[in-house]
């Protein structure tokens, strides 16, 4: 039987209030319940049961003064009832019972914030476990931590809803079958798992920042979800420099979102962007997060901190012509040494073209032509086309832009590349 807190009349439509509260509180509710039942799938079901209870009671009785605590308490009491009903959880029941006697849960009092944070951190590491595929990690993270529905995730990534549903179901089954512990790992395993967590958040943001397919260049909701997750993680793990590095990078990148598209949604290249439209508040947050990364770092900066430092160079330049390209080239050199990849080298080539001219950059790009990882990557011929155009080799540039357009899956990028090819005529 759930405790009944003091209630206040709901302001506006209770169903909308419930939806908003649940989207905000569901990650903490799932995390808190998962600590009891040790199963993410069951925890999500119990959180949904609490939502159903809210939909039944709040329109009739009014929204509780502390709706998040009400949902948490309701879900936890149902979790405890579930444990009691299952004989195979007898030992766990004894442990949970002792914990409950020591720390009773009252819906009219906020739970210990540190306790909630610990649970949330466990949920982050569980949803992003490397035993899952990248696609499954992303879907499960957005479902459990982002509060998105299956339909919303499917729309964001332009895949059928059934595909997303299958990924989430398989992810939960895999976690259960592999016996993945609901815990924050330590030592080398923690380092490996943290990399997976950061990668998932990074991939979610990138898909929103430059959509790989579809008619729109940006998907702001995905950027907002990833940025919120990065901020939460930075508060939960204040001594991890790469967590702050990722948060800083996303703040800087998000600050340019409003200037990256024109009135009709067409892409606006970095050199043509109206920098007065860059969000100075997000830039300030990026600077602060980068400072925190530097303050807690004990060695050389990691890949996310280096990328954030590159983004900071752009943020500090009031005009495109003021960009410190020499420093960006140096930072890309450090990034290539720390985290070598053809994509990093391609980005370094762009910076070299601005610092030293298109000729030296073209040599770098031509060396990348045979890289298997860049086969079918539309930005390789796009960069090469730009360098050739700047060297006056317009016929070759046109061919590269046309090839890039044929490889691009995003319609807005295709339009831009076709226009650039047309300009070469």
Residue 66 gets which letter from DSSP? Answer: S
What is the mean predicted confidence (pLDDT) over 183-190?
80
What's the chain's average pLDDT?
84
User: Which of 412, 382, 414, 413 is closest to 400 using CA atoms?
Assistant: 382
Report the distance separating Cα 217 and Cα 130, nearest Å. 29
pLDDT tens figures, 391-422:
999 999 999 999 999 998 888 889 999 999 99
The two three-digit tokens of residue 375, written as one number = 């086969």
The pTM assigned to this predicted structure is 0.73
Q: Higher-confidence residue: 347 or 67?
A: 347
73-117 pLDDT per residue, tens: 888 888 887 777 665 545 555 565 555 555 544 443 334 433 445
Distance in angstroms (rounded) separating the CA atoms of residues 97 and 46: 19
Between CA 54 and CA 20 the distance in angstroms is 12
pLDDT digits (tens, 9 = 90+) for 253-304: 999 999 988 888 888 889 999 999 999 999 999 999 999 999 999 999 999 9
């Amino acid at each position: 039987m759930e405790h009944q807190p003091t209630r206040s009349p709901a302001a506006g439509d209770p169903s909308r209030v419930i939806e908003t509260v649940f989207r905000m509180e569901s990650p903490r509710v799932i995390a808190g319940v998962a600590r009891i039942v040790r199963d993410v799938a069951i925890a999500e079901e119990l959180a949904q049961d609490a939502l159903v209870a809210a939909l039944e009671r709040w329109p009739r009785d009014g929204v509780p003064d502390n709706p998040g605590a009400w949902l948490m308490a309701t879900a936890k009491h149902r979790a405890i009832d579930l444990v009691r009903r299952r004989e195979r959880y007898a030992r766990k029941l004894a442990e949970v019972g002792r914990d409950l006697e020591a720390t009773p849960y009252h819906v009219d009092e906020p739970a210990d914030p540190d306790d909630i944070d610990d649970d949330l951190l466990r949920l982050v590491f569980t949803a992003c476990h490397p035993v899952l595929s990248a696609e499954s990690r992303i879907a499960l993270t957005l479902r459990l931590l982002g509060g998105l529905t299956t339909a919303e995730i499917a729309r964001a990534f332009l895949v059928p809803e059934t595909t997303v549903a299958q990924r989430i179901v398989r992810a939960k089954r895999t976690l259960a079958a592999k016996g993945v512990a609901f815990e924050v790992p330590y030592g080398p395993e923690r380092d490996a798992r943290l990399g997976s967590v950061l990668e998932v958040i990074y991939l979610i943001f990138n898909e929103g920042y430059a959509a790989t397919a579809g008619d729109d260049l940006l998907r702001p909701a995905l950027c907002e979800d990833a940025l919120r997750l990065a901020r939460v993680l930075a508060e939960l793990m204040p001594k991890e420099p790469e967590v702050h590095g990722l948060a800083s990078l996303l703040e800087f990148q998000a600050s340019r979102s409003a200037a990256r598209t024109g009135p009709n949604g067409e892409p606006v290249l970095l050199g043509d962007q109206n920098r007065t439209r860059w969000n100075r508040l997000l830039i300030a947050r990026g600077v602060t997060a980068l400072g925190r990364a530097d303050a807690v770092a004990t060695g050389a900066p990691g890949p996310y901190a280096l990328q954030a430092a590159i983004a900071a160079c752009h943020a500090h330049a009031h005009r495109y012509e003021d960009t410190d390209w020499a420093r960006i080239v140096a930072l890309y050199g450090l990034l290539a040494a720390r985290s070598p990849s053809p994509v990093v080298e391609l980005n370094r080539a762009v910076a070299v073209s601005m610092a030293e001219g298109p000729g030296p950059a073209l040599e770098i790009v031509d060396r990348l032509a045979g890289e298997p990882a860049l086969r079918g990557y539309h930005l390789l011929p796009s960069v090469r086309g730009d360098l050739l155009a700047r060297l006056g080799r317009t016929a070759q540039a046109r061919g590269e832009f046309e090839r890039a357009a044929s490889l691009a899956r995003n319609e807005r990028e295709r339009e831009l590349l076709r226009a650039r090819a047309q300009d070469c005529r």
